[in-house]
Structure 1
Amino acid sequence: MSTRAAPATAAPSRPGTRAPWRDRQGAFSPFKATVLAALCLPALWLAYQAAAGTLGGRPLMEAIHQTGLWGTRILLLSLLVSPLRQLLREPRVMLVRRMVGVAAMTYILGHFTLYIADQGFDLVKVATEIVLRFYLTIGFVALAGLVALGITSTDGWVKRMGGRRWQLLHRAAYAIALLAMVHFILQTKLDVTEAMLTSGLFLWLMLYRLAGSKGSAPPLWQLALLVPAAAVGTALIEASWYGLFTGIPALPVLQANLDVEFGLRPALWVGIVAAGMVLVGAFGRWRQSRKRPARRAVA
């Protein structure tokens, strides 16, 4: 009798009903719980600001800006999960990839919902704006793609579609992120620093994937070459934006990256982050080298 009752108590651990802070065996995962809490912090901070009335003269517009900004940041983090797993030689990092991707979708859905609210919930007007304004069209396509990836991110959809087709669909995350970067740049009117920084980090992520073989990190010398490549690429993106939308010649913009009197430009920040990834890769190799003697001793 007691053995028959066991499956009923174990049912909550099935992948389809597993809580996000539990691992695949249904046990509590401090790592996943910490990442989940960190992903919720921007939303909680925004809610606190709204309740305290500190979102400025146009609180709804500020909330639209913040949710879009955090959605873009978290989307980049979702693309960083695989490189971190490879660089650190730590498979456990992959446990949070789905969670981070769904969080990015949630923030960007909130961004779009708040935009609808700002338009007085006039869906006809919203649809018209999306059709007529190119940056809104791009943003909406990116949102639709994220929703498709979010819906099909479950284990059940992997089984329905088959592993190969599922992976093919989810490779669209790179194109979706590119659209999100373009949307971010085009809708920026004054200070483009954040837009250029996120675009430069996205560039590094794409260069990393081109440099590395499937399933493994690039060698350290290639990671080192990505530092100037990503920094120069970011500077060129920024110079192109100013040239196209403001008429400022490219050369003064490129030269501004060498002037740190008023702070570091996005290209230099991207270079610093890329250099940090070289250190992460070196640390991962060091960890791996320490594990090998221990395994030999056990054998």
Structure 2
Amino acid sequence: MSWKNPSSKRIALLKVTLFTVALLPLAKLGHAAYTDSLGANPIEKITHLTGYWALTFLLITLSATPLRLLTGWSWWLRLRRMLGLFAFFYALLHVLTYLVLDQFFDWPAIAEDVFKRPYITVGFSVFLILLALAATSTNAMVRRLGGKRWQSLHRWVYVAACGGVAHFIWLVKKDLTRPLTFAAILGLLLIVRLSRLLHSDK
């Protein structure tokens, strides 16, 4: 059977493989923590790695539609929900690392950070968007909201991606290679999205 029309069994196998691969960064991070090899500042390392993978999975999620357009394989879209949930999962770990390990639930200090540091303000805003998208990702929520309202809500994923890239750029003080690479990839994905919207209006 070709990859253009894969069987349900092949899709299920692909999802299991994707699920396993998506957990590898967490397994690697856990191993590093167990072997005490996170470096001189382990909290900072965990914060950076979880944020990096949250943004990585978010951009991979956004690439599903361009990949479908390029390959003609519609099954890319069947992986999008899982990829999006992994983006939220790593974003949740990222935020929890800050709240628990870094700030120890010091809510006044957290509030001060959110209001005084733009990159944290943006970061929390992105997390709230991802939280809303994850909470409405089920089939039941699609039916409850209705197709058009659900699609309108989930277009906020592009706002989250832009905010995530901005958060990354603000956070990095010296070598901007990685955040600018993310920005370039996001720009390309937005161009594909815009061209698709313009084409659909013709």
TM-score w.r.t. structure 2 length?
A: 0.90
Matched, 1:64 2:37: no
Aligned CA RMSD, in angstroms, stands at 1.8
- The aligned residue for residue 91 of structure 2 is 108
Alignment of 1:243-262 (within 5 A): none
- The aligned residue for residue 5 of structure 1 is none
- The aligned residue for residue 56 of structure 2 is 73
> Taking CA–CA contacts closer than 8 Å with sequence separation of 6 or more, which of the two structures ends up with the larger relative contact order?
2
Matched, 1:138 2:122: yes
- CA–CA separation in structure 2 for the residues paired with 1:61 and 1:34: 30
The unaligned stretches of length 5 or more in structure 2 are 1-7
Contact 1:139 1:179 in 2 (8 A): yes
Alignment of 1:10-159 (within 5 A): 29-116=12-99, 117-159=101-143
- CA–CA separation in structure 2 for the residues paired with 1:135 and 1:29: 39
- The aligned residue for residue 170 of structure 2 is 186
- Count of residues paired in the alignment: 192
SS in 2 for 1:160: helix
The unaligned stretches of length 5 or more in structure 1 are 1-24, 217-299
- CA–CA separation in structure 1 for the residues paired with 2:64 and 2:150: 18
Moved segments of 4+, more than 4 Å: 25-28, 213-216
Matched, 1:171 2:187: no
- CA–CA separation in structure 2 for the residues paired with 1:150 and 1:70: 16
- CA–CA separation in structure 2 for the residues paired with 1:47 and 1:31: 25
Q: Classify 1:37/1:204 alpha carbon distance in 2 versus 1 (closer, same or farther; 3 Å).
A: same
SS in 2 for 1:29: helix
Deviations for 1:75-101, whole angstroms, at most 9, x for unmatched residues?
100100111122111111111100000
- CA–CA separation in structure 2 for the residues paired with 1:26 and 1:121: 45
TM-score w.r.t. structure 1 length?
A: 0.61
